[in-house]
Amino acid sequence: GFSWKLVDHPKLPKEKIVAMIVLDGWGEAIPNQYNCIHVADTPTMDSLKQGAPEKWRLIRAHGTAVGLPTEDDMGNSEVGHNALGAGRIYAQGAKLVDLALASGKIYEGEGFKYIKECFDKGTLHLIGLLSDGGVHSRLDQLLLLLKGSSDSGAKRIRVHILTDGRDVLDGTSVGFAETLENELAKLHEKGVDAQIASGGGRMYVTMDRYENDWEVVKRGWDAQVLGEAPHKFRSAVEAIKKLREDPKVNDQYLPPFVIVNESGQPVGPIVDGDAVVTFNFRADRMVMIAKALEYEDFDKFDRVRFPKIRYAGMLQYDGELKLPSHYLVSPPEIERTSGEYLVHNGVHTFACSETVKFGHVTFFWNGNRSGYFNPNMEEYVEIPSDSGITFNVQPKMKAIEIAEKARDAILSCKFHQVRVNLPNSDMVGHTGDIEATIVACKAADDAVKIILDAIEQVGGIYVVTADHGNAEDMVKRDKSGKPLLDKNGNIQILTSHTLQPVPIAIGGPGLAPGVRFRNDVPDGGLANVAATVMNFHGFEAPSDYEPTLIEVIDN
């Protein structure tokens, strides 16, 4: 039968202290002025790269290597940390939703049947991120769902949009809203009363994560449910155009707005008897709104009204909390993650990041599951992020604090695995501020140094890698790789992740002589890291894990 017991590694010892460092948004790309990692002063990461060639390599972090639909899909933190922690490649939310829509199975599932009960008398509300970024949601999926819902009898539909500019170029929201409005107009011709009801920028409205700032969710609630917002417009396209102008605001940070009718009344508050779907497939930024929509007992902000609705997520977002309880597509069944195995095999684990990435090294790492496997063997430490700012203002973020916590955990010798996420290159890269991103990359490098020094002191092992690219390329390029200019001749800033591979470096005094990267996994990706780390803890990985990246040569 099944056993959690791992087989001992034939050559590598147990009880070593292993630092597992994930640099968020740190890819490898050609050096030039838009490569902030290259421009920044990063002596620690440089020395790893220039060190022993058998201890540094690149691995894949995007596309099918992390379970995304195509090789044109950039990597992201959810799929990246899932792969790092689970050691296998799962078809991810984006792909599972594609399949369910293509086969029509989405309309036969429990979740859709549940919300469909409201189609006769109530309104169907769709809330989510409006872009083709493919990280949290996709516009084409929303359009298919709209059509399928109206074919299934939805007569009144309201869409509550969150503008992007973070996984896609800033300024593209206008076009996405136009596309959506055209599709809604087509539904209108078919007799469906369908329109956009509210909106706001994703970083300011609704899509907070890891309980960093409930005000963000409240702003969304007020607009979506109560129909109240500081700005009122007759159309979403007009709203976005106006709100981007004076003062200049990026798509990500647009203030909340509601769409009103000719008499100034909001066109789509959520009321008793309505159905609600949050159409994002990615979990982290939907958990908070899902709690607000689903939990009877809720004290994070004053909801004013708690309408009796039927609510379903595109996916179930938290497998431990079973949240939400109704969903249209089953999430990937990520089980037997490396974290769970290691706990069963006596490996004590410490994990730490600051709030905005805390769930990456816990929740995502453990297969979208909140909480501990065994609180006696694990300690997860969250350092509060600065809230209410855009991170280009504080590009050093909490990198040093995270590193110091990791250092203390290493020096305490109470843990065998000390795992961190250093957020800087990603969070600041997403703001599109090149100068600040350069500062961010240096801060992350300083933090790596602190952790490697501690590993040196205790005779441990380090693994330094990243979850996907971001800061290594800050400009949108054409197919040939030339920077794209806008109509005023300015470069187009790339706020999103990239398709680049990421580095992985191994080392430390505890690394047995003869350990080196193998040559026979040239296509290795993030999913190969889990088996590698299990080896460093003295175990063979389970046979269905992606193969380890290392071999041990007898000297």
Residues 415-454 touching ligand 3PG, rule: CB under 6 A, are: 426, 430
473 binds ligand 3PG (CB under 6 A): no
> Is 344 annotated as a binding-site member?
no
Which lies closer to ligand 3PG via its Cβ, residue 76 or residue 498?
76
Query: Are residues 45 and 424 in contact, defined by beta-carbon separation less than 8 angstroms?
Result: no
> Is 202 annotated as a binding-site member?
yes
Closest CA to 381 of 400, 417, 409: 409
Query: Are residues 244 and 163 in contact, defined by beta-carbon separation less than 8 angstroms?
Result: no
CA angle 463, 63, 392 (to 5 degrees): 65
Which residue matches tokens 């974290």? 339
77 binds ligand 3PG (CB under 6 A): yes
Q: Choose the stretch contacting ligand 3PG; rule: CB under 6 A; options: 48-56, 72-80, 431-439, 482-490.
A: 72-80
Which of 39, 135, 361, 410 is the binder for ligand 3PG (CB under 6 A)? 135
Supply the minimum distance, in Å, between the C-beta of residue 138 and Co ion: 17
Angle between helices 173-189 and 236-245 (to 10 degrees): 160
The verdict on whether omega for the bond into residue 324 sits within 30 degrees of 0, i.e. cis, is yes
Q: Which does 285 bind (CB under 5 to 8 A by kind): Co ion, ligand 3PG, none?
A: ligand 3PG
The binding track of 23-42 with respect to ligand 3PG, each residue x by CB under 6 A or -, is -xx-----------------
Q: Which does 436 bind (CB under 5 to 8 A by kind): Co ion, ligand 3PG, none?
A: none
76 binds ligand 3PG (CB under 6 A): yes
> What's the distance, CA 358 to chain centroid?
11
Supply the minimum distance, in Å, between the C-beta of residue 440 and Co ion: 12
Distance separating alpha carbons of residues 281 and 279, to the nearest angstrom:
6
Report how many helices (DSSP H) and strands (DSSP E) the chain contains, helices first.
16, 17
Distance separating alpha carbons of residues 192 and 171, to the nearest angstrom:
30
Q: Which residues bind Co ion (CB under 5 A)?
A: 426
Q: Which does 166 bind (CB under 5 to 8 A by kind): Co ion, ligand 3PG, none?
A: ligand 3PG
355 binds ligand 3PG (CB under 6 A): no
Query: Are residues 330 and 96 in contact, defined by beta-carbon separation less than 8 angstroms?
Result: yes
> Is 357 annotated as a binding-site member?
yes
Q: Choose the stretch contacting ligand 3PG; rule: CB under 6 A; options: 74-82, 188-196, 240-248, 294-302.
A: 74-82
Q: Three-state SS for 489?
A: coil
The binding track of 155-174 with respect to ligand 3PG, each residue x by CB under 6 A or -, is -----------xx-------
Which lies closer to ligand 3PG via its Cβ, residue 285 or residue 398?
285
Residues 176-205 touching ligand 3PG, rule: CB under 6 A, are: none
Distance separating alpha carbons of residues 482 and 155, to the nearest angstrom:
47
Distance separating alpha carbons of residues 361 and 466, to the nearest angstrom:
12
User: Which residues are marked as active site?
Assistant: 77
378 binds ligand 3PG (CB under 6 A): no
Distance separating alpha carbons of residues 527 and 420, to the nearest angstrom:
17
Distance separating alpha carbons of residues 472 and 488, to the nearest angstrom:
25
Query: Are residues 222 and 231 in contact, defined by beta-carbon separation less than 8 angstroms?
Result: no
Binding residues for Mn(2+): 24, 77, 426, 430, 467-468, 497
Contacts with ligand 3PG by CB under 6 A lie at: 24-25, 76-78, 135-136, 166-167, 285, 426, 430
